[in-house]
Structure 1
Amino acid sequence: MSKKMKIEKPKISSKLIESTDIIEKILDYETVEDTLVENTKIQEINNISIKLNGCIFRNVVFENCDFRKIDMVDVIFENCDLSNIDFSDSGIYRVEFKNCKLIGSIFNDCILKSVLFEDCAGRYSNFAFSKFKGVSFINSDFNSSVFQEVENGMLLLDSTNLVKSVFTGTSLDKVDFTNCDIDGIELRLKDVYGGIFSAGQALDLTKLMGILIK
């Protein structure tokens, strides 16, 4: 896969409405759209059904929130803290996470289409059983994260820390790991087929085949 793979960018209106009561909007409305949220904390949001459409969240801390089954389309998160947030069973389309904290965040059983993670701290995140349709991880730290049984339909990895990450059951065909750190990565031999690795990485992966090189 080329490092120049392009994914669709979020489509954001040039006339966003700045919100000062975003928690009330989330609790009271089924859809929040064309909204700018800055320099605030969103906390204790649970048991809701919400759609975010055409929004920007900038310098926002999310705390004790449960966003399972959320629907996000054309959304940008900049300098946000989304650590330990549960996004399971969600649809995430044309969404960008830039310079965000996503430590321990959960994206299990999600559909992620045209999604960018750039300059993010995402250690211990979990993407198990999700579907990737154009997902980029760029200059980020996803050490010890789980990508188990992901349905991979275009995955770009560029300068990302994937030490001790789990990729078992995920096809890595055409996925380029050459400028990523994959020490201690967990996968199965059949997952490696078609993957692109540096010579040093390939040498380490021979352990999967039980080969000793002298």
Structure 2
Amino acid sequence: MNDPKIPATLDPQRFMAVTRAEDNLLAQVKLQQETITDQSLDRVMFDQTTLTGMTLMADTISRLELTDVVLKNCTLVNCDLAGASFFRTTFQNCKLVGTTLDRNILKEVTFTDCDLSLTNFNETKLTDVVCQRSKMTELNCLDSTLKKVQMVDCDLNEADFSDTSLNKLDLSTCQFDTLRATEFDLHGCRLNETQAAYFASQFLGIHLA
């Protein structure tokens, strides 16, 4: 896992400047404290950039690409970011409630202290992705590919991982009362005793005394 490569000096810029930039690319800039709502954008790219205190609500951004990007205290609510690519990107204390990240490619991405409730990661490829101390309730991650994914101390209540292999994924530090996954999906997944008892009840009808 490599951290984003951010230059020591970044030029301030406005988010919508990306529509006037060559190839819709903003590089080595910092974006701060803006609210962007109900925009429909295509082919937006950020490289070696920081976003702080940004709010995006009900925006549709097709083919979004983030490379070496840090997002801090940002709100991306009910956005459609399907088909995006994130590479060496970190989300810190960000809110992505109800956002669509279907058919995305995430590589070397970290979510720390984030709210990913009701977020969709369907048909998404996640490689070297870390989720820690994050709320992921009612998250949908259907028919996705997880490779070297870590989930540490996350709330996964009512998350749905149907048709997604959780092999080698360690959920033992996470919390949930209900989690949707098949017995086949869970093969090779690491669970704590409480979680194992829950799935034993679900799949085998076994109830521990």
TM exceeding 0.5: yes
Does structure 1 residue 145 correspond to structure 2 residue 149? no
Q: Which residue of 2 aligns with 1:136?
A: 130
Q: Which residue of 1 aligns with 2:108?
A: 114
Following the alignment from structure 1 to structure 2, what is the Cα–Cα distance between the partners of residues 165 and 63?
23
Following the alignment from structure 1 to structure 2, what is the Cα–Cα distance between the partners of residues 9 and 70?
20
Report matched runs for 1:190-201 at 5 Å: 190-201=184-195
Please say if residues 58 and 80 of structure 2, whose CA atoms lie closer than 8 Å, have aligned partners that are also in contact: no
CA drift of 1:68 comes to 2.2
Q: Which residue of 2 aligns with 1:99?
A: 93
Which SS does the other structure have where 2:108 is aligned? strand
- Identify which of 193, 197, 201 aligns with 1:207: 201
Mind listing any 5+ residue stretches in structure 1 that lack a counterpart? Answer: 1-6
Following the alignment from structure 2 to structure 1, what is the Cα–Cα distance between the partners of residues 172 and 38?
41
Q: Which residue of 1 aligns with 2:19?
A: 27
CA drift of 1:154 comes to 1.3
TM-score for the superposition, normalised by structure 2 = 0.94
Deviations 1:171-210 (A, max 9, x none): 1111111111122100001011111000111000013323
CA drift of 1:43 comes to 2.9
In 2 relative to 1, CA 200–34 (structure 1 residues): closer, same or farther, beyond 3 Å? same
Following the alignment from structure 1 to structure 2, what is the Cα–Cα distance between the partners of residues 191 and 133?
17
Following the alignment from structure 1 to structure 2, what is the Cα–Cα distance between the partners of residues 68 and 188?
32
**Number of aligned positions between the proteins:** 206
Following the alignment from structure 1 to structure 2, what is the Cα–Cα distance between the partners of residues 136 and 83?
21
Following the alignment from structure 2 to structure 1, what is the Cα–Cα distance between the partners of residues 49 and 56?
15
Report matched runs for 1:63-82 at 5 Å: 63-82=57-76
Deviations 1:86-117 (A, max 9, x none): 11111111111100111001110000000111
Amino acid of the residue matched to residue 22 of structure 1?
F
Q: Which residue of 1 aligns with 2:52?
A: 58
4+ runs deviating over 6 angstroms: none
Which SS does the other structure have where 2:200 is aligned? helix
CA drift of 1:121 comes to 1.1
Following the alignment from structure 1 to structure 2, what is the Cα–Cα distance between the partners of residues 50 and 138?
27
Following the alignment from structure 2 to structure 1, what is the Cα–Cα distance between the partners of residues 142 and 74?
26
CA drift of 1:48 comes to 2.1
TM-score for the superposition, normalised by structure 1 = 0.92
Following the alignment from structure 2 to structure 1, what is the Cα–Cα distance between the partners of residues 196 and 47?
42
